[in-house]
Amino acid sequence: MLDLTQLNAKDIALALKEAKLTKDEVSSFFKKRIDEFNPSLNSLIEVFKEPDKGEGSSALASLGIAIKDNICIKGRKITCASKILSSHRAVYEATVISKLKQAGLEIAARANMDEFAFGSSTETSCYGPTKNPWDLERVVGGSSGGSAAAVSARLLPFALGSDTGGSIRQPASLCGVVGFKPTYGRVSRYGLIAFGSSLDQIGPITTSFIDCAHLLNIICGHDAKDSTSAKIDTPDFSKSLNCDCSQIKIGLPKEYFAKGLEPEVKTAIEGVKSYFANKKIKFIEISLPHTEYAVATYYIIGSSEASSNLQRFDGIRYGLRSGCSNLEELYTKTRSQGFGPEAKRRIFLGTYSLSSGYYDAYYVQALKVRRLIKEDFDSAFKEVDAILTPTSPSTAFKIGEKTNDPLSMYLSDIYTISVNLAGLPAVSFPCGFSKNNLPIGAQLIGKAFDEETLIKLGSCFEEGSDYHKQIPPLVVNKKNSHE
Amino acid sequence: MSNFETVIGLEVHTQLNTESKIFCSCPTEFQSPPNTNICPVCCGYPGVLPVFNIKALKLALRVSLALNCKINPSIYFERKNYFYPDLPKNYQISQYKMPLGYNGALLLPSGKKIRINRVHLEEDAGKLIHKEDYSLVDLNRTGTPLLEIVSEPDLSDASQAFDYLTYLKLILQYIRASDCDMEKGSLRCDANISLRPKGQKELGTKVELKNMNTFKGVRVALEYEAKRQAHVLKNNQKINQETRLWDPAKLKTAIMRTKEEAHDYRYFPEPDLLNITVGDDLIKAESSNLGELPLAKSKRFLDDYGISGKELDIYISNINLADFFEEVVKIYTKVKEVSNFLLGPFLEQINNNKEGFSAVKIEAENFSKIVKYFSQGRLNNLTAKKVLSLSIFTNEDIDEIIDREKLTQVSNEDELLAFVSEAIKENPKAISEFNEGKQQAIQFLVGQVMRKTKGKANPKLARQMLEKTIKGGSV
């Protein structure tokens, strides 16, 4: 039998269609890998004994997908990796799940994440941290760390994550896979448990741009159930694969290559630049002058929205309810016992920012800076079609290294956060390895609703590189690799 | 008391007459069993998103226009954050900085102008049902579109507040924006009240009153609170800025929370909804949907039908009755006859029915027959009432009822003669009284004939026949 870890999802689906493989072969192949590697990785919280089967057809039909545990799959548990929801089951289906099923995909597993997506390392999960398949002592990034690790370890061909400030791209970068955050409004948020409603977006995590384009084709599109979903047609993203890129102009924001960037990461991004330069793509240095305020702005807006979004977890109608003798105690005990420390930190921060007397100085000020950040991008995109940056300032750090230093943890997202504040599409893709053999990711940022340029560039890079084909040595199945 | 002047402002919450809720498609039906008109969205399940019901905007706009408000051309929703079990998201989607309507005014029939500060849209909360040692939550009402109408402190006493509420309710009913049924909770009212020495410009410290469940309750609570505050001030004590609850059993207000305990609602723009443009076309459409307002109707009823005084008041305050009246006089044009019958027997039937006008099934054309037959003498007072009572809540055909119940008035001398003779024979005392010149005696005899004919005799004819027979001495 073929070694499916060497194939992308689209080719596996094709082999199935052409009867070169049977469905049982494919599912037992991945089931074996899950059984073998998931216990040490802790990337999947639950693998469904009987996956939810899809009914339609598409280029990816019949394949199983892992879903970050903040997207509702009707009838299944949904916990956001939080104790407060540990017994909760989804009573309805998220729009993206309906779309996946209509495209014939199987909903196979729930993926680990930071609690309520608060984090950059998947260490705040109530299920414990997910470990990096490239080095089990290191983090996978976050918050969609379970999804990224599962795809990186080829436990499943692909996964969905969600990205509020880098939560798809940063773990993709740290795990050596492709993580795409679509334009805000491109994918319906209906059924995604909200963190920062004006920032959240669901997106695919895959091993290649080919799979990424096909998965985007399935999940994008206007949804009447989400008022912020854009009434804009979804192009066939697969048509952007392997196109001519010579007319594309790429901007390099000087602020993204300043202090704090690990030299190995910088070198890898320069490698991407020279690859594209060889393809006659033009590079222009640009400036995004408000970049230094992005992290502060993001933590005020994101936490403000989160503090309000998380108020519904009160023990009244669903989720954890702690024993109590009156209403006040019910709220206090349930929430004190149900939320972990990082969730509490964000709730405090957000509640403070929105409080009367502080609202203007924090929340309103942050909204103004958000507009300036967006305007930075607007003027940059008058000159260029895409922007190239590192995804993360460093490769995967050690588990526990930053848990007691929230500020340094927050800086892990320094290159990804502005994109969410501006609502733009961006993707992280593998572009090299450190001398410790840890993956490095590059980020491409596009104009609003111009995911196509990113797919063109990304697939162009993939054509001439094999970084995305590298499989973590720890999860190379010896039997398979010798066959 | 007389040294102080009372200043009152009212906050009215009224449910809008939409079929579905403001942010989901659940019905707004009032009488369903608890927790049946609910879905993941109005229950605030994790991951749901609100979708705005444009019908609520249209009705809210209509109200704003009826209250002569300026309209914000672009509005947005905000979240009002507070924890309470009847609010499943623990925030209410409301409007704060940019209300739909502002700077309006309501001109009361008395001529007094009450300025309207703002009119804004929000979602209603659910209901708590408190039991002995636990509470139940019913979320049917959660997400019903609610309009908050805030007046300026232009009301100078409790009875003016009562008049304002009465007239505001009438306007809301006229423009078909709300049922305004306080018993169903579709209209609720909180009041702000303060006192100041007569002649002083700046306002005194205000107290917010809650828990008044009827218009009368509002009046009594305000009267009580004005007295209480006057008493405090007379004793040179200070009024505390606080929220007080009206206790309708004890007829007292009691402190609910002080200013220090007031919520910080942490309003911020609702990120799940986009800004809404209130375009000129929408404003134009709702202006034309306003229909006739009470003042205009009053003038027209006076001009077109010559109805005035108390009769006019009844029609103006009862829009359903007025509409029915107009339907009937289109078919049977004798205004006076129609109006007499409507304001008499018809209204009596309605007042005796628990459901009031909404129970009426009779159609104008069918009803007009009763008035016509009565006027023609085919039905008398008694039989007309009987026919009405059999048809008003069923719309059964009048002719069929008369036929079935054999209610046609007997206006035939031959048929009546036997009954007239009997009445005379059995009542010699009445005859002699009549002969002595007591005119009332004849009335008694007419009554006897009516009794014998089970009310069907034409009383006029019976009287003529009785007089003729007694005077002729032919018995």
Annotated catalytic residue A147: no
Q: Do A308 and B91 touch (CB under 8 A)?
A: yes
- Biggest alpha carbon–alpha carbon distance for chain A: 71
Is B41:B68 a contact under the CB 8 Å cutoff?
no
Tokens of B70: 């300026």
Which residues from B are below 8 Å from A305, CB to CB?
Answer: 268, 271
Backbone angles phi, psi at B38, to 5 degrees: -135, 160
- The answer to whether the CB atoms of B47 and A331 lie below 8 A apart is no
- Amino acid identity of residue B4, one-letter, is F
All structural domains of chain B with their residue ranges: 4-285, 292-405, 413-472
Are the Cβ atoms of A228 and B51 closer than 8 angstroms? no
Q: What is the pLDDT of residue A479?
A: 54
Of the candidates A40, A55, A43, the one whose C-alpha atom is nearest the C-alpha of residue A205 is A43
How far is A298 from A363, CA to CA, in rounded Å? 10
Q: Chain A neighbours among B 131-160 (CB < 8 Å)?
A: 137
Helix axes of B440-452 and B428-435: crossing angle, nearest 10 degrees = 150
Please give the single-letter amino acid code of residue A253: P
pLDDT at B406 over 80: no
Chain A residue nearest residue B136, CA to CA: A316
- Whether B47 sits inside 8 A of A88 (CB atoms) is no
C-alpha A258/C-alpha A271 separation (Å) is: 17
Q: How far apart are the first and last CA of chain B?
A: 77
Q: Please give, rounded to a whole number of angstroms, the shortest distance from the CA of B24 to a CA of chain A.
A: 9
* DSSP label at residue B353: S
- Best of A113, A327, A354 to disrupt the B interface (most B CBs within 10 Å) is A354
Specify the DSSP element, H or E, that contains B78: strand B78-81
CATH fold group of domain B413-472:
Arc Repressor Mutant, subunit A (1.10.10)
The per-residue pLDDT string of chain A (483 residues; one tens digit each, 9 = 90 and over) reads 678 999 999 999 999 999 999 999 999 999 999 999 999 999 999 999 999 988 888 999 999 999 999 999 999 999 999 999 999 999 999 999 999 999 999 999 999 999 999 999 999 999 999 999 999 999 999 999 999 999 999 999 999 999 999 999 999 999 999 999 999 999 999 999 999 999 999 999 999 999 999 999 999 999 999 999 999 999 999 999 999 999 999 999 999 998 889 999 999 999 999 999 999 999 999 999 999 999 999 999 999 999 999 999 999 988 899 888 899 999 999 999 999 999 999 999 999 999 999 999 999 999 999 999 999 999 999 999 999 999 999 999 999 999 888 888 888 899 999 999 999 999 999 999 999 999 999 999 999 999 999 999 999 999 999 999 999 999 986 654 433
Q: Which tens digit of pLDDT belongs to each residue from B179-225?
A: 888 878 889 999 999 999 999 999 999 999 999 999 999 999 999 99
- Contact: A228, B46; criterion CB under 8 Å: no
Q: How distant, in Å, are the alpha carbons of A65, A69, A96, B138, B147 from that of A48? A: 11, 13, 18, 35, 47
State the Cα torsion A161-A163-A166-A169 to the nearest 10°: 40
Q: Let me know how long chain B is.
A: 475
pLDDT value, residue A481: 43
- Told to judge if A143 belongs to the known catalytic residues of this protein, a careful annotator would answer yes
Closest-CA residue of A relative to B262 is A356
User: What is the rounded CA–CA span in Å between residue A281 and residue A243?
Assistant: 13
Domain residue limits, chain A: 4-245+424-482
Question: Per the omega criterion (within 30 degrees of 0), is the bond before A143 cis?
Answer: yes
The CATH architecture of the domain made up of A4-245+424-482 is: Alpha-Beta Complex (3.90)
**How crowded is the C-beta side of A336, counted as CA atoms within 13 Å?**
9
ipTM confidence = 0.95
User: B473 in the Ramachandran plot: left (φ > 0), alpha (ψ -120 to 50) or beta?
Assistant: left
Contacts of B50 in chain A (CB under 8 A): 227
The answer to whether residues A76 and A33 touch, using CB atoms and an 8 Å cutoff, is no
Q: In this complex, do A311 and B90 lie within 8 Å of one another by their Cβ atoms?
A: yes
Catalytic residue, candidates A58, A82, A120, A143: A143
Give the predicted TM-score (pTM) of the model.
0.90
With contacts defined as CB-CB under 8 Å, which chain B residues touch A191? 47-48
Number of other residues whose CB lies within 10 A of the CB of residue B113: 12
Task: State how far the alpha carbon of B258 is from the alpha carbons of A221, B84, B97, B245, B248, in Å.
Answer: 50, 18, 24, 12, 21
| Pair B410, B416: CB distance under 8 Å | yes
Do A72 and B46 lie within an 8 Å CB cutoff?
yes
Considering CB atoms only, which of B90, B264, B266 is closest to A312?
Answer: B90
Contact A35, A80 (CB under 8 A): no
Alpha carbon distance B243, B255 (integer Å): 6
Q: Choose among B10, B289, B286: nearest CA to B148.
A: B10
The radius of gyration computed from the CA coordinates of chain B, to the nearest angstrom, equals: 30
The residue in chain A having the minimum alpha-carbon distance to the alpha carbon of residue B46 is: A193
Structure tokens at A276: 């594209």
Identify whether the C-beta of residue A313 lies closer than 8 Å to the C-beta of residue A338. yes
Please state, in angstroms and rounded to a whole number, the distance separating the CA atoms of residues A330 and A206. 42
DSSP-based three-state secondary structure for B24: coil
Alpha-helix residue ranges (DSSP H) falling in A72-230: 95-102, 145-152, 169-175, 209-219
B271 → closest Cβ in A78, A88, A198: A198
The alpha-carbon radius of gyration of chain A (Å, integer) is: 21
Q: Do A318 and B45 touch (CB under 8 A)?
A: yes
Nearest-Cα distance to chain A for B43, in Å, is 8
- CB of B447 less than 8 A from some CB of A: no
Of residues A68, A83, A402, A447, which has the active-site annotation?
A68
Query: Would the CB atoms of B46 and A327 count as touching at under 8 Å?
Result: no
Task: Please count the other Cβ atoms lying within 10 Å of the Cβ belonging to residue B254.
Answer: 10
**Which of A308, A321, A365 has the highest number of chain B CBs within 10 A, making it the mutation to test binding with B?**
A308
